[in-house]
Amino acid sequence: MNTIVTFIAFSDLTPRLIEQTERFAKILDAQVILAHLLPPEPFVMGMAGVVPMTSQEQRQKLIDADGERLMELADRLNREGLTAQAEQLVNADIDTALESCARWKADLIIVGSHHHNALYNAFVGSFREKLLKAAHCPVLVVPEIAVQ
Amino acid sequence: MNTIVTLVDYSDVTAKLIEQTERYAKALGSQVILVHVVSRDPMALVNEPASQIPSEEQRRELLAADFKHLSSLADLLTAVGVNVEVRQLVDADIGKALAESEHWNAELIIVGSHHHGVLYNWFVGSVTSDVIKAASGPVLVVPATPAK
């Protein structure tokens, strides 16, 4: 069976990503893995040394809420007759994302195209661009603007 | 009829591009437009870096050879039952290629991903990222590295 891994960022683009995932899963007869990447939490340097910006409790709440949203999206695809699972990648980066694609033996990766400006890309870097550079299978990039 | 526009550039990713184009054309029941963009750069079709700028006549010959190459790729798709047309866009750029895909109301654009270095991308820019930034529909990026 073919496998599609779709990276969800919970943005305005999510409905479009789900729509394209459903479409390609049907034509490729593929199972779907909806992945969400939760980067390591930010730390701050202060009087008390290096401390996390959020408490462990707050962090866990965020992880749980994200996990639920991801499950809801997977359920929606399952109701459409597809086979979808949710995978939350906690404290993850681009390498974790690629490992996940390799583990699932993805035939297709689906990501959104976020048009960040040059300054953002210079400092933060674009997840999509890193993925395109390192991916071993085709990557479908879904734009923000309306598809005709 | 559904249409896929595939941008080819005769690099080492071309075989993979044709393979994926066949796969998605069959899955989507689409016709295929194979597009090759020949830039205004007089050296665009010259393979040897140390060559002189070709004469008008030489350029015509190079364009004819280029068209033949494009047609031979189309023949590969025709042979497996895919409905295909070719477009050689002379003195064109990515904008023209995207206009072509708008004209065909393409539901999918397929491009290759080249793993150039940072310096190359800084000066030359990446065709792939230009397409992704400007396209209004989904773009399938096919990696040069072997699929697993």
Tokens of A4: 């599609």
Radius of gyration of chain B (CA): 15
Query: Which B positions 85-124 lie with beta carbon below 8 A of chain A?
Result: 105, 107, 113, 115
3-state secondary structure string across B45-95: CCCCCCCCCCCHHHHHHHHHHHHHHHHHHHHHHHHCCCCEEEEEEECCCHH
Which chain A residue has the Cα nearest residue B112?
Answer: A138
Which chain B residue has the Cα nearest residue A147?
Answer: B137
Whether residue B132 lies within 8 A of chain A, CB to CB, comes out as: yes
State the first-to-last Cα distance of chain A, in angstroms, to the nearest integer: 30
Summarize pLDDT for A7-62 with one digit per residue, the tens.
998 888 899 999 999 999 999 999 999 999 888 776 666 666 766 667 888 889 98
Q: Which of B132, B144, B63 is nearest to B98 (CA)?
A: B132
B116 pLDDT band (50/70/90 cuts)? low
- Across the interface, whether the CB atoms of B136 and A143 are under 8 A apart is answered yes
pLDDT of res. B139: 93
Indicate the residue type of A49. Answer: G
Summarize pLDDT for B49-65 with one digit per residue, the tens.
667 888 889 889 999 99
Q: What is the ipTM of this complex?
A: 0.84
Which chain A residue has the Cα nearest residue B134?
Answer: A143
A20 Ramachandran zone, left/alpha/beta (phi>0; psi -120 to 50): alpha
Question: Looking at beta carbons, which residues of chain B come within 8 Å of A136?
Answer: 143, 145-148
Whether residue B11 lies within 8 A of chain A, CB to CB, comes out as: no
Kindly compute the dihedral angle of the four CA atoms of residues A12, A60, A32, B138, in this order, to the nearest 10 degrees: 20
